[in-house]
Amino acid sequence: MVQRADAGDPVAQNNLGAAYSDGEGVPEDDVEAVKWFRLAAEQGEAMAQNNLGKHLDDGLGVPEDDIEAVKWYRLAAEQGNATGQNNLGVAYSDGEGVPEDDVEAYAWLSIAAVGDVDHEKNRDIVKESLSDSQLALGQRRATELFEKYGSGK
């Protein structure tokens, strides 16, 4: 894996970043994890984009930066990455890195739930805060997002 990562393989770079993040087979090192996630994310690797966003969101190995985290979540989400879609939806729900917007949160969380049922809980929590008209807007927006970016994977 290290040879492939050193050679520029973005999947191997993401996997190596995950190994450093989790301390699997290497010492746990979030700074090193971010280095590998960033290399892969900059090549368009969706899971690495989400992983980099999560480290930025949580301040792991880098200073916390919600705006930068949302940038990477969005890139992953727009590639159909369900976890990126979920994390972008949560950012809208919490107003972290983007203005709080429960309709937009519901939309992103809805398409994330199509790709991974584990994300249904977050969608359902946001749904409870929406009026009927907001829910209708969120459902229309989810359809637009689904048509543009597909279901999560």
Do 41 and 7 fall into the same domain? yes
Among the listed residues 35, 39, 68, 42, the one whose alpha carbon sits nearest the alpha carbon of residue 54: 68
Same domain, 60 and 108: no
Answer with the one of 18, 36, 64 that is the final residue of a domain: 64
Do 53 and 4 sit in the same domain of this protein?
yes
Residues 96 and 137 in one domain: yes
User: What is d(CA 108, CA 139) in angstroms, rounded to the nearest whole number?
Assistant: 10
- Residue labelled with tokens 């200073």: 63
Instruction: Report which secondary-structure segment, H or E, holds 119.
Output: none
Say if residue 92 is in the same domain as residue 152: yes
Do 48 and 94 belong together in one domain? no
- Identify whether residues 90 and 150 lie together within a single domain: yes
Q: Name the amino acid, one letter, at 141.
A: R
Count of structural domains, the chain: 2
Whether the predicted model's global pTM rises above the 0.85 cut: yes
Q: Let me know if residue 105 belongs to a domain.
A: yes
Q: What is the structure's pLDDT at 44?
A: 98
Range of the domain at 22: 1-64
Identify whether residues 18 and 54 lie together within a single domain.
yes
Q: Look up residue 152 and give its two tokens.
A: 């999560």
**CA–CA dist 137, 107 (Å, integer):** 9
Q: Count the residues in the chain.
A: 153
Each residue's pLDDT, cut to its tens digit, for the chain (153 residues) gives: 889 999 999 999 999 999 999 999 999 999 999 999 999 999 999 999 999 999 999 999 999 999 999 999 999 999 999 999 999 999 999 999 999 999 999 999 999 999 888 889 999 999 999 999 999 999 999 999 999 997 665
76: in domain: no
User: What is the spatial distance between Cα 98 and Cα 149, in angstroms, rounded to a whole number?
Assistant: 20
**Residue 14, domain member (yes or no):** yes
Query: Which of the listed residues 36, 64, 92 is the one where a domain comes to its end?
Result: 64
Position 12 scores a pLDDT of 97
In this prediction, residue 115 carries a pLDDT of 84
